Amino acid sequence: MNDDVTLQKMERKMFVSFTDWEFDGNVDNAVEAAKGFWPEMKKYGAVNMRATVTGENTIRTMTLWSDPKMLEANIDEIRAAAGSAVGMSVTGGMTGPLAVELD
């Protein structure tokens, strides 16, 4: 494959962050808080977010981002601001390029 074509495909690729959160166990409050912080995340290129309850007081979010450079430059700040805004603590996280998306 032509290197230019490969580079173009890589530049269009979406980026994903997974963040593990600890919270007070009130899922409804966590969801409402996340909805309230969503506009701020969109400023950094977030296009989609999903959250899964993983334990009594833990949630994992998966966020799809349009701009990996902007995310990488700001991920710590975004997580700190989100944690402060929604009253949750980050316990772990990972980022990487989206490999496949199936509907």
Band the pLDDT of 12: cuts 50, 70, 90: low
35-63: b or e for each residue (b if 16 or more CB lie within 10 Å)?
eebeeebeebbbeebebeeeeeebbbbeb
| The pair of three-digit structure tokens given for residue 13, joined into one six-digit string | 């690729």
pLDDT for residue 6 is more than 60: no
Range of the domain at 68: 26-97
Flag whether 21 is in a domain: no
Flag whether 83 is in a domain: yes
Least confident of 3-7, 40-44, 63-67, 93-97: 3-7
- Quick: pLDDT tens for 64-92: 999 888 888 888 988 998 888 778 899 99
Q: Number of structural domains, the chain? A: 1
Mean pLDDT of 26-47: 91
Flag whether 3 is in a domain: no
Flag whether 78 is in a domain: yes
In the block, residue with structure tokens 């509907």: 103
What's the pTM?
Answer: 0.81
